[in-house]
């Protein structure tokens, strides 16, 4: 049961115990960096609950397990932003809620997985809250997020929370070797930037140009922090050309300053990574307080992206605020 999940034994043992004792909660919040295994755990959790096998659940080959693997089981819904959208809007939540009173089709439970719960608009979060406040016994919610602080406290308080720690590099390398056809050299090249996330490692292997882009933006942001004010406008212009790329780089910036914050506190990097030259350079520029203020600015930018905004203008405002933070201005 849940044996396919690597590196999160404490969480899987808790979930196993809840299944075996009948103590499964009505709502869970799985948080942790993107690609660390939250969604895979949620789907294996669903299979463990709904599998038709009398023992060794999930069996992995019954019709229920097969349907969940292929994403077409009627009692396992995965909600993400609709194609072309960056947020989960209230209409999607209302559509989901409208079917909650109908009993499950094949078993005695239904699982709703919200993949990217931090992308729920404020209105959508409030609509979801009503279902969490008065849950029906056969509905089980699993919210997946890399940014739990963007989710309403009233929602978080109604969920059983599990934090998925970044995995160490040896385990990430092992998973990448098992799940991809890339050679050892290619895998080792992406380990540092994966940040303890196998999913991010796979993404970087399949999109090698992203590694180059990240280094480019990191150098430009460093120049901005060093006082090059023109970088405000060149960075904003480049990041406003493609919204998907803009969001990817924003997520990278957040992860980067999170790592710098750890080092400023004398802590280790995720996955036991060794700080590189870029980390050392940023450490010389920033205090812990300034680093945290920059992180907050980036999270504010993430919240702003939920709306239809002028990307270039919002990035300019963000970089100006970061530059003022570095200079010590309020």
Q: Which residues make Cβ contacts (< 8 Å) with residue 285, sequence separation at least 6?
A: 222, 225, 226, 326
Mean pLDDT, rounded, for 62-79:
92
Look at the domain 207-327 and name its fold.
Answer: Zinc Finger, Delta Prime; domain 3 (1.20.272)
- The pLDDT-based confidence of 248 (bands split at 50, 70, 90) is confident
Domain coordinates in residue numbering, the chain: 9-163, 168-206, 207-327
Model-level pTM? 0.77
CA angle 329, 263, 323 (to 5 degrees): 20
Quote the pLDDT of residue 283.
93
Quote the pLDDT of residue 330.
58
What is the DSSP code string of 170-226? Answer: HHHHHHHHHH----HHHHHHHHHHHTT-HHHHHHHHH-HHHHHHHHHHHHHHHHHHT
Summarised one tens digit per residue, pLDDT across range 186-208 is 998 888 778 889 998 998 898 87
123, HSE (Cβ side, Cα atoms, 13 Å): 9
- Mean pLDDT in the chain? 90
Quote the pLDDT of residue 231.
93
Summarised one tens digit per residue, pLDDT across range 264-310 is 999 888 766 788 889 999 999 999 999 999 999 998 898 887 777 88
Q: 3-state DSSP call for residue 304?
A: helix
What's the DSSP call for residue 88?
A: B
Q: Which CATH superfamily is domain 9-163 in?
A: P-loop containing nucleotide triphosphate hydrolases (3.40.50.300)
- The pLDDT-based confidence of 177 (bands split at 50, 70, 90) is very high
Quote the pLDDT of residue 44.
94
Quote the pLDDT of residue 26.
94
| Cα-Cα end-to-end distance for the chain | 52
Quote the pLDDT of residue 84.
76
């Amino acid at each position: 049961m849940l044996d396919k999940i690597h590196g999160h034994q404490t969480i899987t043992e808790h979930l196993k115990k809840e299944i075996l004792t009948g103590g499964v909660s009505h709502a869970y919040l799985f948080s942790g960096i993107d690609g660390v295994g939250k969604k895979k755990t949620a789907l294996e959790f669903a299979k463990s609950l709904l599998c038709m096998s009398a023992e060794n659940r999930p069996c992995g080959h019954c019709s229920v397990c097969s349907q969940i693997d292929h994403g077409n089981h009627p009692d396992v819904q995965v909600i993400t932003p609709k194609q072309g959208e960056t947020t989960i809007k209230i209409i999607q939540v209302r559509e989901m809620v409208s079917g909650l009173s109908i009993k499950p089709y094949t078993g005695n439970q239904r699982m709703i997985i919200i993949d990217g719960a931090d992308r729920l608009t404020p209105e959508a979060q409030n609509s979801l809250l009503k279902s969490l406040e008065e849950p029906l016994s056969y509905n089980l919610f699993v919210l997946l997020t890399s940014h739990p602080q963007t989710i309403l406290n009233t929602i978080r308080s109604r969920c059983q929370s599990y934090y998925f720690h970044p995995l160490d590099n040896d385990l990430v390398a092992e998973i990448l070797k098992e799940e991809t056809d890339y050679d050892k050299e290619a895998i080792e090249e992406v380990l540092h930037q994966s940040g303890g996330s196998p999913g991010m490692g796979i993404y970087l292997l399949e999109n090698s140009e992203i590694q180059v882009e990240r280094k480019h933006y990191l150098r430009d942001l460093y120049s901005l922090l060093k006082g090059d004010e023109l970088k405000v406008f060149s960075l904003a212009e480049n990041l406003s050309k493609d919204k998907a790329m803009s969001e990817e780089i924003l997520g990278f910036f957040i992860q980067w300053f999170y790592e710098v914050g750890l080092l400023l506190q004398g802590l280790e990097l995720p996955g036991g990574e060794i700080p590189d030259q870029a980390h050392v350079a940023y450490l010389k520029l920033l205090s812990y307080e300034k680093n945290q203020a920059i992180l907050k600015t980036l999270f504010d930018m993430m919240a702003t992206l939920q709306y239809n905004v002028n990307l270039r203008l919002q990035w300019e405002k963000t970089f100006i605020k970061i530059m003022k933070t570095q200079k010590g201005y309020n």
